[in-house]
Amino acid sequence: MGDSAKDSSAGICFKRSTKLGFAFWLPAAWIVFVAFCGVSANLWGLPEPDLMDWNNPAAVPGTKGNILILEQSGEGVERLYIHLLGTDTLGRDIVSRLAYGARVSLAVGLIAPGIGLVLGGILGMFAGFYRGRLGAIIVGTMDAILAFPGLVLLLAITFYLGASVQNLIIALGILTVPAFCRVARANTLTFAEREFIQAARALGENEMSILIREILPNVIMPMIVYALLVVAFMIVIEGALSFLGLGVPSPTPSWGGMIAEGREVLEETPHVSMIPSFVMFLTVLSFNLIGDSLRGLRDTKEGQL
Amino acid sequence: MVVSMKFLGKKFLRLIAVVLAVTALTFLMVNFLPGDVAYEIAGPDAALEDVKAIQEELGLNKNVFIRYVSWLGHVVSGDFGKSFRTHRPVLDEIVSRLPVTIELLILAQFLALALAIPAGIISGYKAQTGIDRSLSSTAFAMISIPIFVLALVLIFVFALKLKWLPATGYTPISDGLWLNLRGFILPALSIALVEWVPLMRVLRSDMISTLKEDFILMARSKGLPVSHVLFRHALRPSSFTLITILGIQIGHLIGGALIIEIIFALPGIGRLFVSSIFARDFYMVQGCVLFIAVAYVIINFLVDVFYSVLDPRIRLEERNG
């Protein structure tokens, strides 16, 4: 898995400008929009994501339908509702499922790399700072994990742990640790022998505080830039697992699951699959573009580790 | 030669170590994670005695380390256990699926190279121009498309709308090479359209630096045609990184092939693996993980060795470092 995250980091930047342009702000706006939709999904009177409109299965965008809304009194009331992006094969509103699905995609996409960032960062900094036996053990363990093709290891972990959002996040988090560890180690190595570290040593600072106060601030930026590219990859992986039916268990809406459900009617009503596909593509592209812009801004070779 | 033997020996020892670690991890997955295999085999209604009997039969009540060593002994002699589902030996089942997966991987890598080499050369030669920019932007967009989405789009366009190629299904090679290949075109293309991007990128940047060399200027000034200079003179020295990436990519490729085999209903290892997961066929899952991981480690080892044969600098670095 580290491989592909690395691939996407070997980005294309023609002009290394010092300002963030459209290639940063437009994708950033999209991510904020998706995150906002996900967080506030339950606030705008959208039908529940698993509410079925039996009269309108796989309806085209803009179809008018009747949905049952639960009033605050607890009574169900039929209400006219326009399915802006149509419905899926079971008549569930696509807008609503996209918004609720964003929760899963972003939760997995943001928390899993967070776990990798923290664990991998700590291990990598130790491995880079203590280059003796401890460093060798850490590097060796990480190499063993990297020896598994990512998706295979992930499927194995979710198979034995059972599929749920929580387990998925843990498994994906573990999977990203080696890559983060490498980035942190390589960056630590470049700083460990620098003069300011020697100065801190000469001043009698202990090693723990050198690691935290001197090295961490220098290592954290390249790690965060790298994390953005991992986020994009995590969203794809979560999508792939849900697509295979091994990720987020149904009926929780997830983009990958929506794409898979639309496969049956791909010929007659392609929008059922294609709308979530497009949303996922835009989100992944956005994270890649943001990561690439930030990397271009830093203008160093560190991003290519 | 002495140096290279020593170098190979060191690499080989590392290979053995990683393979051992991989087997240990695979073994531990079945043994330490929640849910005892014996309960799983016996089913939800089984009596405690049945579960005990199965534990006894599988040797689950012995020390973990002893079990690992005896399991490893079986694995080395080719005994991966039997599938709960089909009662066939796991290894036989895997080997019988192998040709499909290998054919898919080779075709995909071939198509990826067929896209990446011309695109990389043109991009490098015309660096910073409109052609380069549009090629690179296309590549950037392509790598953001999830592989299963790409596969669905290809199916939609080429199988459902244009009806040029079959959407799913596998025809054995014995029924005719063309029929067999037809079924592989869309699956291989789905993988290739994602995988060509990193290949093209490294070739482009290596090409740019090679084209600045004096021998290229020399070739040009002799009046050789541009295409001759690009393909004959510049491509070879620019392809070292490309070959490394080809090796690194294999892990990614295997993951991609797994999803693609399911979408296109190709009876390869990936499909066997995922269907065994659904059937909770423990030994089959374990066998697949082990087989894929070991194959992956060995391929990486071979790529490493091959690369050091091509580029002597690597051997020297290893010796000095």
User: Any CB–CB contact under 8 A between A160 and chain B?
Assistant: yes
**Choice between B122 and B40, residue whose per-residue pLDDT is larger:** B122
End-to-end CA distance of chain B: 19
Residues B249-261, mean pLDDT to the nearest whole number: 83
Query: Can you tell me the distance from the alpha carbon of A213 to that of B284, in angstroms, rounded to the nearest whole number?
Result: 49
Which among A10, A161, A280 has the least Cβ separation from residue B149? A280
Residues A159-163, mean pLDDT to the nearest whole number: 74
User: Taking the model in full, what pTM does it have?
Assistant: 0.81
According to the model, what pLDDT value does residue B321 have?
40
According to the model, what pLDDT value does residue A250 have?
74
State whether B255 and A144 contact (CB < 8 Å): no
Mutate to test the interface with B, among A243, A246, A264, A272 (most CBs of B within 10 A): A243
According to the model, what pLDDT value does residue A20 have?
73
According to the model, what pLDDT value does residue B37 have?
63
Query: Can you tell me the distance from the alpha carbon of A206 to that of B231, in angstroms, rounded to the nearest whole number?
Result: 57
Query: Can you tell me the distance from the alpha carbon of A64 to that of A66, in angstroms, rounded to the nearest whole number?
Result: 7
State whether B26 and A156 contact (CB < 8 Å): yes
How far is A80 from chain B, CA to nearest CA, in Å? 33
In terms of Cα–Cα distance, which of B40, B77, B34 is closest to B58?
B40
Digit-coded pLDDT (tens) for B172-185: 777 777 878 888 88
How far is A24 from chain B, CA to nearest CA, in Å? 14
Residue B205 has pLDDT above 50, yes or no: yes
Q: 3-state DSSP call for residue B213?
A: coil
Cβ A135 vs Cβ A142: under 8 Å: no
How far is A148 from chain B, CA to nearest CA, in Å? 5
Residues on chain B touching A292 (C-beta within 8 angstroms): 140
Residue with tokens 């060798």: A136
Confidence label for A281 from pLDDT (cuts 50, 70 and 90): very high
Instruction: State both tokens at B78.
Output: 């080719």
State whether A160 and B262 contact (CB < 8 Å): no
How far is A295 from chain B, CA to nearest CA, in Å? 15
Mean pLDDT of all residues in chain B? 81
Residues B266-279, mean pLDDT to the nearest whole number: 87
* Residue burial B257-274, b: 16+ Cβ < 10 Å; e: rest: bbbbbbbbebbbbbbbbb
Residues on chain B touching A101 (C-beta within 8 angstroms): none
Cβ A20 vs Cβ A297: under 8 Å: yes
Residue A3 has pLDDT above 50, yes or no: no
Q: What residues does A77 pair with on adjacent strands?
A: A69
Cβ A236 vs Cβ A284: under 8 Å: yes
Residue A15 has pLDDT above 50, yes or no: no
According to the model, what pLDDT value does residue A144 have?
75
**CA-to-CA separations, A2 to A7, A9, A28, A183, B68, in angstroms, rounded:** 9, 11, 24, 10, 29
Which among B133, B198, B292 has the least Cβ separation from residue A14? B133
**Choice between B53 and A182, residue whose per-residue pLDDT is larger:** A182
**CA-to-CA separations, A245 to A51, A242, B248, B271, B272, in angstroms, rounded:** 21, 5, 28, 13, 15
Which among A12, A147, A240 has the least Cβ separation from residue B21? A147
Digit-coded pLDDT (tens) for A219-258: 888 888 888 888 988 999 888 888 888 888 777 888 988 8
According to the model, what pLDDT value does residue B201 have?
87
Instruction: State both tokens at A4.
Output: 């592909």
